[in-house]
Amino acid sequence: MSKVFYVTTAIDYANAAPHIGHVYEKILADFLARWHRLDGYDTYFLTGTDEHGEKIAKAAAKAGKSPKDFVDELSEGAFRALYDRLGISYDDFIRTTQERHKRYVQQVLQRVYDAGDIYYAEYEGLYSVGSERFVTEKELVDGVFPGDSEPPVLRREANYFFRMEKYRPWLLEFLQNNPEFIQPAGYRNEVLEMLKEPIGDLSISRPKDRVPWGIPIPWDEGHVTYVWFDALLNYVSALVDKGNFESHWPHAWHVIGKDILKPHAVFWPTMLKAAGLPLYEKLVVHGHILALDGRKMGKSLGNAIDPTEVLEKYGLDALHYTLLRDTTLAADSPFGEPVIVSRLNSDLANDLGNLLSRVRTMLLKYCGGVLPEPSPADGEIAREGVSLAARVRPLVRELRFNHALEEVLQYVRSLNKYVNDSKPWELARDEANRKALGDVLYTVVEGLRIASVLLEAAIPNKARELRQALGLGDYGVADTERWGLAPAGTRIPEEAPILFPKLEALEREGKGQEGAKPEAAGGKREAKPEKAKQPVPKAEPAPANGPITIDDFARVEFRVAEVTACEKHPQADKLLVLQLNVGDHTRQVVSGIAQWYTPEELVGKKLILVANLKPAKLRGVESQGMILAGEDAEGRVVVVTPEKDLPPGARVR
RNA sequence: GGCUGUGUAGCUCAGCUGGUUAGAGCGAACGACUCAUAAUCGUUAGGUCGGCGGUUCAAGUCCGCCCACAGCCA
């Protein structure tokens, strides 16, 4: 029984530049692809871009380009170029505007039509151009569909519909009988919930005169295929084109974001069923990447990570490793540069890179740069090493990538400990210990060989560099289950670059006060957090590093807040604890103004609150923000209040 | 409003089908060592496992209610 693995990512909608979320998903899929290749699977990895639809036609028109030129530039110039630089090891990059794809979509449409599962019907309703679908009154907020810039328009259309509802009972039963089909389980529950009620039929076409940019319906030139029937079929059309449909399709794992769960978990299986095609094997759903403060990333919020920038700054291996190590599929994960820096420095530079460095130095110094002949293996390190793959493999298959990597890192740490305990530098002082010295160094090299292979799917370039620095070649996962494959007598290179240079400088981000920034680099010195930094709110002489931009300013959220209650801090005589009414909710804020105000005189006052300051505990009491105050010539602190009355919660800008 | 999930040491999180003194990494303190990228290794951190009640010989681990947060749906 040969092992086959087919992995896909969602195809990216080519209407704007790629962001970190796109990158995250490709890295997840890349990890799976690389792991399975290393583990002896006949592996095929597909990614690509989704290039049809009204939104693209509009974006192209706005850019003054033809749709074709527009998507060419984004698909090749932005998405594919970025993925190449990221080392995404795709085997095929499909574009839905390619002939091979269009041909296949038409074939399948015709087949389903002939089978009677597609019908023609008229429909009238509110249509959101931004979201490319009909919406209901209920979904509108202030007359606009959330996320759109324009209100929906009334449209009357005749479209083709796919009889999706017909397959609902079948799908529900299938999912109940196949708990592993959608992973992680939380997303499966959501789908089961959706299927408890009618899902309706799926609109699969648009009139061509309105949306010319799409694949024509084969039996009706007046219509083009609507997004999902077009896009989803890429997973199959790419295989059919290369002739490996039969061999690979039944082993397909689709990696997707939770935002497109329904199309993949509901539309797609029913489409496949109607088309008489077998189902894919597994749906791998991931959450979203959030900013470090736990909020959504967005250009307008100014907290988005630019993938190109972090790639250049930290390298692809660190980016891959960190995104795999510090996220979970089951939930949204906060991510940012401090995470990368801290993980890069501790795991990759200190634990792994430094271990390579120390063993290389000793080999060069004590053994003339030649890997010594080892004694037969019997130690703990060898036993642990050869059994490591057996522990990592299931973790990968269960999509617990963070655990899989941590497992290997633990082994790396045990190698460092082994070196410390064995003290090769002492053995080297006495010629009588030659043999023991050689055994120790060989053991570490073997351990590193094993670790490098098991980490290779996450740090593809550096794993090979590591082995090259030891004069070693490439191995598969199975080769880590045997001890002693590093050939004795191997000569290691005299020179090798530092594997993971450490980052000393942590970018100044000016994130909230004393926040959760993992004090990454520099560490030891004198970076004492300077505790009890009481924020006596005196106009905060913000590090005047030149003027700030309007965007910087926009990140601060000021609101009017009414003091509803106030008391002295139980453990600090300079602090007051204020309860504030901020319109729709209340806040507790600790402020260092006890010398200037009594609790009584503050109650009822309206103050200005910095509402999005990261919460902090001051002497054990939580402070959810900060109030504005100024200081007069005598050093007296005065709180800021609105000149005329403003309602609690009103935004100040 | 309905459903699902989350809430464990300062921070990020492990803890499968209930069972020895609740774990790891990071950060911090102290110590050891010098082959190494001021790296590594060891020790220490005394956390009501969100709250209340229940089942049980025994509960972060099961049940009920409540609180907070998130997601999905309406």
**Which whole-number Å values give the CA distances from A339 to A122, A238, A336, A501, in the listed order?**
52, 37, 5, 16
Q: Which residues, listed in sequence order, are joined to residue A13 by a DSSP beta bridge?
A: A50
Rounded Cα gap, residues A68 and A305, in angstroms = 29
pLDDT in tens, A473-515: 999 999 999 999 999 999 999 999 999 998 764 332 322 222 2
**Cα–Cα nearest to A17, from A97, A94, A81:** A81
Q: Which residues of chain A (203-262) touch nucleic strand B at CB < 7 A?
A: 258-259, 262
Q: Which residues of chain A (568-607) touch nucleic strand B at CB < 7 A?
A: none
Contacts of A309 (CB under 8 A, 6+ apart): none
* In contact, A200 and A165? CB cutoff 8 Å: yes
| Percent of residues in chain A assigned helix, strand, coil, to nearest 5 | 40, 20, 40
pLDDT in tens, A585-632: 677 777 766 666 777 777 777 877 777 665 555 555 566 777 776 655
Rounded Cα gap, residues A263 and A228, in angstroms = 7
Rounded Cα gap, residues A460 and A455, in angstroms = 8
A523 C-beta less than 7 Å away from strand B: yes
pLDDT band at A297, cuts 50/70/90? confident
Distance A371 CA to B34 C1' (A): 23
pLDDT in tens, A309-329: 999 999 999 999 999 998 888
Q: Which residues, listed in sequence order, are joined to residue A134 by a DSSP beta bridge?
A: A127
Which range is least confidently modeled, A21-25, A236-240, A577-581, A636-640?
Answer: A636-640
Peptide bond preceding A570: is omega within 30 degrees of 0, i.e. cis? no
- Residue A139 reports pLDDT greater than 70: no
Segment A565-585 mean pLDDT: 67
Rounded Cα gap, residues A614 and A523, in angstroms = 23
A354 C-beta less than 7 Å away from strand B: yes
Which pLDDT value is given to residue A217? Answer: 95
pLDDT in tens, A25-84: 999 999 999 999 999 999 999 999 999 988 888 889 999 999 999 999 999 999 999 999
A413 C-beta less than 7 Å away from strand B: yes
A519 C-beta less than 7 Å away from strand B: yes
Token pair, residue A125, equals 């309703």
Token pair, residue A519, equals 């004090």
A186 C-beta less than 7 Å away from strand B: yes
Q: Which residues of chain A (100-139) touch nucleic strand B at CB < 7 A?
A: 138
Chain B positions with any atom < 7 A from a protein CB: 2-5, 10-14, 24-29, 32-42, 70-74
Which pLDDT value is given to residue A316? Answer: 94
Which pLDDT value is given to residue A460? Answer: 96
A493 C-beta less than 7 Å away from strand B: no
Nearest nucleotide from residue A415 CA, by C1' atom: B40
Which pLDDT value is given to residue A571? Answer: 53
Rounded Cα gap, residues A647 and A653, in angstroms = 15
pLDDT in tens, A415-458: 999 999 999 999 999 999 999 999 999 999 999 999 999 999 99
CA atoms within 13 A on the CB side of A120: 7
Which range is least confidently modeled, A25-34, A132-141, A409-418?
Answer: A132-141
Rounded Cα gap, residues A563 and A602, in angstroms = 7
Nearest nucleotide from residue A403 CA, by C1' atom: B14
Q: What percent of chain A has pLDDT over 90?
A: 53
Segment A453-466 mean pLDDT: 96
Segment A462-474 mean pLDDT: 97
At A138 the three-state DSSP class reads: helix
pLDDT band at A523, cuts 50/70/90? very low
- Residue A526 reports pLDDT greater than 60: no
A278 C-beta less than 7 Å away from strand B: no
Give chain A's length: 653
At A126 the three-state DSSP class reads: strand
Which pLDDT value is given to residue A595? Answer: 62
Q: Which residues of chain A (253-272) touch nucleic strand B at CB < 7 A?
A: 258-259, 262
Which pLDDT value is given to residue A572? Answer: 57
* In contact, A285 and A256? CB cutoff 8 Å: yes
Helical (H) or strand (E) element with A528: none
Phi, psi of A200 (to 5 degrees): 75, 180
Token pair, residue A241, equals 């084109």
Phi, psi of A277 (to 5 degrees): -105, 150
Distance A331 CA to B8 C1' (A): 17
Nearest nucleotide from residue A517 CA, by C1' atom: B11
- Residue A138 reports pLDDT greater than 80: no
Q: Where are the alpha helices (DSSP H) in A571-650?
A: 599-602
Distance A347 CA to B25 C1' (A): 10
- Residue A379 reports pLDDT greater than 50: yes
Mean pLDDT of chain A: 82
Which range is least confidently modeled, A142-156, A197-211, A406-420, A553-567?
Answer: A553-567
Token pair 């082993």 in the structure block, residue:
A251
Distance A587 CA to B51 C1' (A): 21
Quickly list DSSP for A548-579.
Answer: PPHHHHHTS-EEEEEEEEEEE-TT-TT-EEEE
**Cα–Cα nearest to A50, from A19, A87, A9, A5:** A9
Q: Where are the alpha helices (DSSP H) in A344-481?
A: 354-367, 380-397, 401-422, 424-427, 434-455, 460-468
Phi, psi of A141 (to 5 degrees): -120, 120
Distance A186 CA to B63 C1' (A): 21
Strand pairing of A182-183 and A621-623? unpaired
Token pair 């600790």 in the structure block, residue:
A590
* In contact, A53 and A213? CB cutoff 8 Å: yes
At A246 the three-state DSSP class reads: helix
Nearest nucleotide from residue A261 CA, by C1' atom: B72
* In contact, A13 and A71? CB cutoff 8 Å: no
Nearest nucleotide from residue A523 CA, by C1' atom: B27
Which pLDDT value is given to residue A612? Answer: 63
pLDDT band at A528, cuts 50/70/90? very low
A498 C-beta less than 7 Å away from strand B: yes
Segment A382-391 mean pLDDT: 92
Nearest nucleotide from residue A188 CA, by C1' atom: B4
Quickly list DSSP for A151-202.
Answer: --EEEEEEEEEE--GGGHHHHHHHHHH-TTSEESHHHHHHHHHHTTS----E
Q: What is the dihedral of CA A6, A11, A12, A14, to 10 degrees?
A: 140
A420 C-beta less than 7 Å away from strand B: yes
A429 C-beta less than 7 Å away from strand B: no
Distance A403 CA to B57 C1' (A): 36
Q: Which of A87-96, A541-550, A557-566 has the highest mean pLDDT?
A: A87-96
Nearest nucleotide from residue A358 CA, by C1' atom: B36
Rounded Cα gap, residues A463 and A470, in angstroms = 11
Which pLDDT value is given to residue A237? Answer: 96
- Residue A19 reports pLDDT greater than 70: yes
A356 C-beta less than 7 Å away from strand B: yes
For residue A58, the Cα-to-chain-centroid distance in whole angstroms is 29
Rounded Cα gap, residues A134 and A213, in angstroms = 18
Token pair 């998903």 in the structure block, residue:
A25
For residue A263, the Cα-to-chain-centroid distance in whole angstroms is 20
Nearest nucleotide from residue A342 CA, by C1' atom: B26
Distance A567 CA to B31 C1' (A): 45
Which residue lies nearest B39, CA-to-C1' measured? Answer: A350
The dihedral through the CA atoms of A426, A430, A435, A441 has a sign that is positive
